[in-house]
Structure 1
Amino acid sequence: MRIDLDGIGINVTDTGQGPAVLLLHGWPDTHDLWRHQVAALTAAGYRTIVPDLRGLGDSDKPGSVEDYRMMRLVGDQAALLDHLQVPKVHLVAHDWGAAIAWAMAALMPERVASLTCMSVGHPTAFAAAGLAQRQKSWYMLLFQFPGIAERWLSQDDFRNLREWAHHPDHEAVVARLRVPEALTASLGLYRANVPPESLVAPPPELPPIQAPTMGVWGTEDLALVEDGMTGSAAFVAGPWRYERVEGAGHWLQLDAPDRVNRLLLDFLNGQ
């Protein structure tokens, strides 16, 4: 279904009954990233709420970089929960969705029953992860250059994107991003939130996370080092759990869906 949130149309699926779980994807994905988890969660008696982030999927794609600032992305999720009359959720998130989830859990603790972040750790832990993480983050600088980034990603039928990312759903991803406006809108996440100066500046301070939190990282992640996730424990005041998924890449919920589902259900059922 499609919901208007303060003038931004958000595409969202809402299935199942029971405790609510809000699942947030990242770049360059849509709600479909969570298809294996939605099936497992709804079968286990959870309600799953899975939006396309603004700028991605079938949600609106505003043209201004300012429209993709982190607090607007967080605000979308709060407004979505308000619209659906859901006071509190279990928050499950990946990649840029995880960045949004860390901020939401820190700034709106009353809305978050538990937090599960995959691949991307707390922003301060990410910043402290050292040279190895900066080397893996080279593409964030490339993505800052309008036109150049789009050309690099899309030339030769998205060859660079295919060979660099190894996305399990690469054909579906490329089909969505072939529309020039869609590719540029998706890059708004990077251009609004990780400008070049942010790569050397200290991250904004956030209150400690109060909710029970689980961090999950795949050993073959192309974009994130493990320290960025394990170091997140220092910023969680509530119970902390870390799970390392051997052999899984950045899109671990697609690479190892059964293992991820077991971890997720074990964690959520304990809350």
Structure 2
Amino acid sequence: MSNAQTVPATGTPTTDALPAENYKMVDALGHQLRVYDEGPADAPTLVMFHGAPHNSLEFRFNVPALVQAGYRVVIPEHLGAGGSDRPISENVSHLNGFFIDPALDQRKRSWYMSYFQFEAAEEALRADDWALAREFFDWHPDMEHIIADWERPNGLKASWLNWYHATVNPDRAPKAEPLPDVTVPVLQLYSMNDPYIGPDQLITGREFIKGPFTLKRIGGAGHFIARNAPDVFNREVIKWLGDRESERRGN
């Protein structure tokens, strides 16, 4: 099963938080992760992973609709982000295809990954009230939340820069084995004006997705689809999950 369709993005509501009572701390291999957990314990569970440089608040416009649709939503904040430990250290299709040749367009879009290898990057991002960072994310409506996270002790390095230090530095990054193919059903949402992930990545990444695949192209949402077009994100995800459940039950 495979199809592609462009869905227009629309405006977003306004709220600043998720209910504090739904957060808990969870031990993970000796580190403490802050995890958001809402919905009935016996309901189908959706685990949502936020991207860098955000935290669980990235999904605050999605959680209510998903819970209302009958799901339990669990959002772990990755190391360095939100309330999780800060040790020193999405739109993307299958990672095996991220830099496969020909990938010049994607390498150009990912220039910042190389820039962040230099210590000067942190000072440059902080300068003039985060002017460079604000310009880099000028389409992101949660910039004040993100900067507040960065300004906590070790915040910028732990929640953003060190992820690139550890994964894409050509001298220090570990040479990992290729990831396995994905064999379960996949829904991929892609914004047609994503400045970070090029359309070629959809083609190379698709080679490693062997299960049923559905592509939805979202117009005008930038890179952060769940945040910038939550109504479209919620509708498409809930419908896709419902279709998979109907298939599972043989309906």
TM range (shorter): 0.7 to 0.9
Larger Rg over CA atoms:
2
Hey, what's the Cα distance between the residues in 2 that align with 1:38 and 1:198?
38
TM-score by length of 1: 0.75
Q: Point out the more displaced range, 175-184 or 1-10.
A: 175-184
Q: Distance in 2 between matches of 1:14 and 1:243?
A: 27
Q: Is the 8 A contact 1:150 1:183 kept in 2?
A: yes
Question: Higher RCO, 1 or 2 (CA under 8 Å, sep at least 6)?
Answer: 2
Q: Deviation at 1:56? A: 0.9
Q: Quick check: 1:188 aligned with 2:188?
A: no
Report the equivalent of 1:168: 141
Contact 2:93–2:206 (CA under 8 A) maintained in structure 1: no
1:236, CA displacement in angstroms?
1.1
In structure 2, the partner of 1:14 is 37
Higher helix share: 1
| CA-CA distance at 1:202 after TM superposition | 8.9
1:154 aligns with 2:129: no
Mapped contact 2:186–2:212 kept (Cα < 8 A): yes
Q: Determine which of 37, 40, 51 is the counterpart of 2:65.
A: 40
The corresponding residue for 1:205 is: 178
Q: Where in structure 1 are there 5+ consecutive unaligned residues? A: 66-93, 95-118
Q: Report whether the alignment pairs 1:28 with 2:53.
A: yes
Please, which of 75, 78, 88 is the counterpart of residue 50 of structure 1? 75
Output the aligned Cα RMSD: 1.9
Q: Tell me, what secondary structure is at the counterpart of 1:244?
A: strand
User: 3-state SS of the aligned residue for 1:192?
Assistant: helix
Equivalent position of 1:115 in the other structure: none
1:179, CA displacement in angstroms?
2.9
Give CA-to-partner distance per residue, 1:183-208, whole Å, 9 cap, x none.
11121211111113699x99742221
1:179 to 152, 168, 172: 152
Structure 2 portions without partners, runs of 5+: 1-23, 245-251
Q: How does 1:1-271 map to 2 (within 5 A)?
A: 1-17=24-40, 18-63=43-88, 65=89, 94=90, 119-128=91-100, 130-146=103-119, 148-166=120-138, 167-186=140-159, 187-196=161-170, 204-271=177-244
- How far residue 34 of structure 1 moved from its aligned partner, in angstroms, is 0.8
Work out the number of aligned pairs and report it: 216
| Equivalent residues of 1:127, 1:203 under 8 A apart | no
